[in-house]
Amino acid sequence: MKAQSSGKWPIRTAAGVAVAFGALTIVSGGWVLFGGTAAQEAAGNVVPFVLWFNFLSGFAYVLAGVGIAMKRRWAPLLAVALAAAIGIVFALFGLYVFQGGAFETRTIGAMSLRLVVWSLIAAVAMRHVPTKHSAGG
């Protein structure tokens, strides 16, 4: 019994982190997008395409987390796609900064954290959630 339950912790952890990360992303992004002038001023020099990507991806984070928890075979693929999309948006953000665009330094940390977290979630999901039907059914 103990061996079975110890094998579940990576999936439970990845799913929990994904859902929590998604919820926090939706709340924080929604606050800046829809919280009025005070929220926007507090956020500083946001980069609109990064802000919208992060806000909308929060919903996909929650979906991926639920899928991982339920061991749905599409969930690892969604996690990988999210990690890749974050990497692409981060690279585009880098290009934007290189071209002289205004930004907040904390965006670099936030995007780095997202990329690391989703790369780890994707790795756990790919390892512990089957992506194909087993031969026996």
Inside any domain, residue 68: yes
Q: Using one digit for the tens of pLDDT, what is the confidence trace for 82-134?
A: 999 999 999 999 999 999 999 999 999 999 999 999 999 999 999 999 887 54
Q: Nearest to residue 128, comparing CAs of 4, 10, 19, 2?
A: 10
Give the CA radius of gyration of the chain: 17
* Domain-located, residue 114: yes
136 belongs to a structural domain: no
Structure tokens at 110: 């936030």
Mention every residue, 6+ apart, whose C-beta is less than 8 A from residue 36.
none
Dist CA 47 CA 125 (whole Å): 30
pTM of the model: 0.88
**Helical spans, DSSP H, in the chain:** 2-6, 9-34, 36-43, 48-69, 75-98, 105-128
Question: Would you state the pLDDT for residue 5?
Answer: 54
The helix (H) or strand (E) run that includes residue 69 is: helix 48-69
* 106 within domain boundaries: yes
- Round the average pLDDT of the chain to a whole number and report it: 92
Domain for residue 134, yes or no?
no
Q: Does residue 113 belong to any structural domain of this protein? A: yes
CA distance 104 to 73: 37
CB contact at 8 A, 123 and 84: no
Rounded (10°) angle between helices 9-34 and 48-69: 150
Task: List the domain range (segments joined by +) for residue 80.
Answer: 2-128
